[in-house]
Structure 1
Amino acid sequence: MAVFCCGSLHLDVLVTAPHLPRPDETVAGNTVEYIFGGKGGNQALSASKMGSKVSMAGRVGSDSFGNHLLKELKNSTIDISQVQRDDGPSGMSVAILDSAGNYGAVIVSASNLNIDPELVIVPADTKIILLQNEISEDVNLALAQKGRIIGSKVILNAAPARAFNKNILDFVDLLVVNRVEAEDILGHEVSSDGWFAAVEELAKLGPNELIMTLGADGLIIKIGVQAPVHIRAHNVTVKSTHGAGDMFLGALAAHLDQNMSLLSACHFAQKAAALHVGSQQSERKKLTKEAVLNYNP
């Protein structure tokens, strides 16, 4: 079986600074790195690291950024035969990471918005389709429909938060959101005493399975008609939360692809995310499935 990820590919420019700038403030930075990114690409890399066969569909430009992105995917043994190219610029982001591990980012989608869904063929051995909100809604809908036809499990990570046509949820098996994204979909605030109610409300929109991630507070999982369950997060010293959600999603998809239950996959993905946030950027490439399985916080 395999994971098929259709999503964004960005080259992230990561700057470290003492603190995030306030409006009209210029902050002197400490370091700068050029890092493979985009929610689609990050989740594909995560799933590959966690032991699954992974194929990627997306779009990059004809620039050096595009070459860098494709090389990174190939080096991670990801099938890139369905990554399209055009004459425009590749997607990119500029992220600022402060000394406390907090970050803010600006994303330029560029070629990511030009993915042609008619050119995308879901491989026949696909067990899991992984989608996110950094590409066109029309592409997500087309891929979710294709997944439903061949019997793949469709996971939509509705991140970043944006208004979208809720009809896509008719073709989504597992919806994964954080609290902010849940608020955006529901149109109201979700307080700490309303987590369970929010998940129940989201379930009425269509998906049979739901996960609402809560950062340091863990996550809420709902499966079918069962009552929601709260899973606590691991206690870890945070180096940086940058990319933690993508590590979680990729690990989750890989574990489901490897015939584990959703509950087991959530526990596995939480451990992967904990190792991720507790590691420096340079250490994250070394994160393996074995390291996650052996992690006992």
Structure 2
Amino acid sequence: MILVLGSLHWDVVVRAPRLPALDETLPGQGVDYRFGGKGGNQARAAARAGARVAFAGAVGRDDPGARMRATLAAEGVDTSRLRQVDAPSGMSVAIETETGDYGAVVVTGANALAMPSDPTGVTTALIQNEVPEAANLALARALPADARLILNAAPARPVPPDLLARLDLLIVNRVEAGQMGAAAFGNWVTVVTRGAEGLDLHRDGTVHRMAAPRVDVVSTHGAGDVFCGTLAAGLDLGCALETALEQAQAEAARHVSTAR
């Protein structure tokens, strides 16, 4: 079973011809309200890829929190570890351009109160940096010795040595890899995603480039989360790393080329 410890955000996505400059107001072309947050998106992707998934995190006692819990449950994700707390649910406001690029502002809200749960029966844990470092560390320390730990280090922040020591797989994009520098590489496997250019697989002192499928991009929003969740599912279901990476790239390509 995969346990995702992560964030949930109710996303407000505004479509515009381009990202505004500082102090500029642009007319928008539409607005959508979407289930989001790195943790939630990754849990949903893993479940859609066929894995058994449970989610640990926190939402507020509000309508967005209820909607996000229901969305996860409808995807077959076990929400018994999703806590309800006295804080507003997390939210993000994103601007999506005609070319598929985006920028966003994220409000942490209830995600700041996310806590790990009993990891009994967990074979893979998937964590990100939208919940407190202490929560990620606590889960890493509590995991069974034979459980796989995957960190998607987004947004980038320093990773504690205790967490690195337990890590099996690190997933970062090229910007995050640059921000982490040498700390992104060690005794674990590191995957550096490069968008349309594919990815670099760093393992045992070697680097292997894997090309990405060529598609017409509609929007890149959430593609990294689809990649992470699908990759975790493939590994948890017993696929070889290269096979799981190919599956994750294919699903991310499908995601960015599909209108939502």
Instruction: Give the secondary structure class of the aligned counterpart of 1:236.
Output: coil
Q: Matches of 1:144 and 1:165 in 2, distance apart?
A: 11
Q: Matches of 1:48 and 1:270 in 2, distance apart?
A: 16
Q: Which residue of the partner structure matches residue 73 of structure 1?
A: 72
Q: Which residue of the partner structure matches residue 135 of structure 1?
A: 131
Instruction: Give the secondary structure class of the aligned counterpart of 1:228.
Output: strand
Misfit runs of 4+, over 6 Å:
none
Give unmatched runs, 5+ long, in structure 2. Answer: none
Distance 1:239 1:245, change over 3 A: same
The residue type paired with residue 140 of structure 2 is A
| Post-superposition CA distance 1:226-264 (Å, at most 9, x none) | 521000111111000000000000110111111001111
Q: How many residues align?
A: 260
Q: Which residue of the partner structure matches residue 178 of structure 1?
A: 173
Instruction: Give the secondary structure class of the aligned counterpart of 2:206.
Output: coil
Q: Which residue of the partner structure matches residue 31 of structure 1?
A: 30
- Is the counterpart of residue 152 in structure 1 residue 152 in structure 2? no
TM-score with structure 2 length normalisation?
Answer: 0.97
CA contact (8 A) 2:56 2:115 kept: no
Q: CA deviation at 1:220?
A: 0.6
Give the alignment of 1:274-293 within 5 angstroms.
Answer: 274-281=253-260
Q: Which residue of the partner structure matches residue 16 of structure 2?
A: 17
Q: Matches of 2:91 and 2:107 in 1, distance apart?
A: 5
| Post-superposition CA distance 1:121-179 (Å, at most 9, x none) | 1141x2211000100011111111222x3421000000112234243110110011111
Q: Matches of 1:59 and 1:110 in 2, distance apart?
A: 9
Q: Matches of 2:85 and 2:180 in 1, distance apart?
A: 32
Q: Which residue of the partner structure matches residue 97 of structure 1?
A: 96
Give the alignment of 1:1-297 within 5 angstroms.
Answer: 2-117=1-116, 120-124=117-121, 126-147=122-143, 149-186=144-181, 202-204=184-186, 206-207=187-188, 209-223=189-203, 225=204, 227-281=206-260
Task: Give the structure with the higher percent helix.
Answer: 1
Identity, % of aligned positions? 44
Task: Give the structure with the higher percent strand.
Answer: 2
Alpha-carbon RMSD:
1.3
Q: Matches of 1:231 and 1:246 in 2, distance apart?
A: 18
TM-score with structure 1 length normalisation?
Answer: 0.85
CA contact (8 A) 1:9 1:58 kept: yes
Instruction: Give the secondary structure class of the aligned counterpart of 2:123.
Output: strand
CA contact (8 A) 1:12 1:35 kept: yes
Q: Matches of 1:165 and 1:11 in 2, distance apart?
A: 29
The residue type paired with residue 93 of structure 2 is V
Q: Matches of 1:238 and 1:275 in 2, distance apart?
A: 9
Q: Matches of 2:239 and 2:138 in 1, distance apart?
A: 27
Q: CA deviation at 1:203?
A: 2.6
Q: Matches of 1:170 and 1:254 in 2, distance apart?
A: 23
Instruction: Give the secondary structure class of the aligned counterpart of 2:55.
Output: strand
Q: Matches of 2:120 and 2:43 in 1, distance apart?
A: 15
Give unmatched runs, 5+ long, in structure 1. Answer: 187-197, 282-297
